[in-house]
Amino acid sequence: MNYNNLITNYNNGITTITINRPKKLNALNQETIKELHNAFKEANLDTNTKVIILTGSGEKAFVAGADISEFANFSVEEGEHLAANGHKILFDYIENLSTPVIAAVNGFALGGGLELAMACHFRVASNNAKMGLPEVSLGVIPGYGGTQRLPQLIGKGRALEMIMTATMIDANKALSYGLVNNVTAQEELLPFCETIAQKITQNSSVAIAEAIKAVNANSKDGVNGFDVEIKGFGKCFGTEDFTEGTTAFLEKRKAEFPGR
Ligand code: COA
């Protein structure tokens, strides 16, 4: 599919989705949000794609936030709808995708940009990256999951400090907080993410999908994550991947997972 605001590229089991509005620091307008939904859906349905990498174009920004020019005149109802729709079609959608998603944070990840990175399964940043939730400086709060995912990732005190001060942290502080898993030089960011992605592609995609579901259950209200884990564990025993994985181990060879 062709997109106005995205570039997608497939190579060796990995689909890279690049948000491509560099003149607006890749800010998320509504069209981009819809296109991202479609691109993630398409990659998730593609059985060749085992990992998705999400990044921003240019050297300056991953995503500098939701597009402020689009919501500056919104009413209470429009504001609520904007957040609810974003959660549904993009942020929760990515978090619950069965294909692993790595955020390659290549510069500013602010507001909706950091929220987008946090909806991904994990994050790697380049050393020029800067992250923050500056919404209260605009008179609003984070509305795409930031008040929930940031405390989950870095703890309540640090999250509230970042939200209340509206200031940015650099890549090394993000690393020390556990907000990103690794920091690389800018030119190394995508190759580094691709190396991690390649390791993931060697493993059972059906088992990985069950692991994502079980880990996500940890933060869902009214859901017992241990029960989800037990069910997912049992389900794996009925897959061709499990037969192949265990047989290959016993035959002392590398598994070739069919992904079923
Ligand atoms: N929404 C809409 N447009 C944005 C944007 C956003 N979130 N972030 C940046 N842009 C646009 C700017 O308006 C500017 O457009 P213009 O050239 O047509 O005027 C362009 O991107 C470049 O940004 P600029 O501010 O000139 O770059 P800078 O290097 O001076 O500053 C930032 C970079 C990231 C510090 C600054 O752009 C910024 O603070 N952006 C808003 C961050 C934010 O509050 N995000 C949360 C939104 S809820």
Question: Within a 10 A sphere around the Cβ of 124, how many other Cβ atoms?
Answer: 27
Chain mean position to CA 96: 10
Q: Count of CB atoms within 10 A of residue 128's CB?
A: 17
Strands 61-63 and 51-56: unpaired
Give the number of other Cβ atoms within 10 Å of residue 236's Cβ.
17
For residue 143 the two structure tokens come to: 């509305």
**DSSP helix/strand/coil, 163:** helix
210 carries an active-site annotation: no
pTM of full prediction above 0.75: yes
Measure CA of the first residue to CA of the last residue in the chain; give whole Å.
26
Ligand 1 contacts (CB < 6 A) are 24-25, 27, 64-69, 108, 110-112, 134-135, 138
If one residue of 5, 20, 24 were mutated to test the ligand 1 pocket, choosing by the most ligand atoms within 8 A of its CB, it would be 24
Instruction: Single out the catalytic residue among 42, 80, 95, 115.
Output: 115
Show the CA angle centred on residue 94, arms to residues 86 and 129, nearest 5°: 90
pLDDT digits (tens, 9 = 90+) for 186-211: 999 999 999 999 999 999 999 999 99
Tell me the pLDDT of the chain (260 aa) as tens digits: 889 999 999 999 999 999 999 999 999 999 999 999 999 999 999 999 999 999 999 999 999 999 999 999 999 999 999 999 999 999 999 999 999 999 999 999 999 999 999 999 999 999 999 999 999 999 999 999 999 999 999 999 999 999 999 999 999 999 999 999 999 999 999 999 999 999 999 999 999 999 999 999 998 889 999 999 999 999 999 999 999 999 999 999 999 999 99
Q: Cα 79 to chain center, whole Å?
A: 23
Query: CA-CA distance, 90 to 92, in Å (whole number)?
Result: 6
For residues 142 and 160, is the Cβ–Cβ distance under 8 A? no
What is the Cα 38 distance to its own chain's centre?
15
Residue 24 CA, closest ligand 1 atom number = 21
pLDDT tens digits for range 76-127: 999 999 999 999 999 999 999 999 999 999 999 999 999 999 999 999 999 9
Distance CA 177, CA 233 (A): 31
C-alpha 81/C-alpha 258 separation (Å) is 41
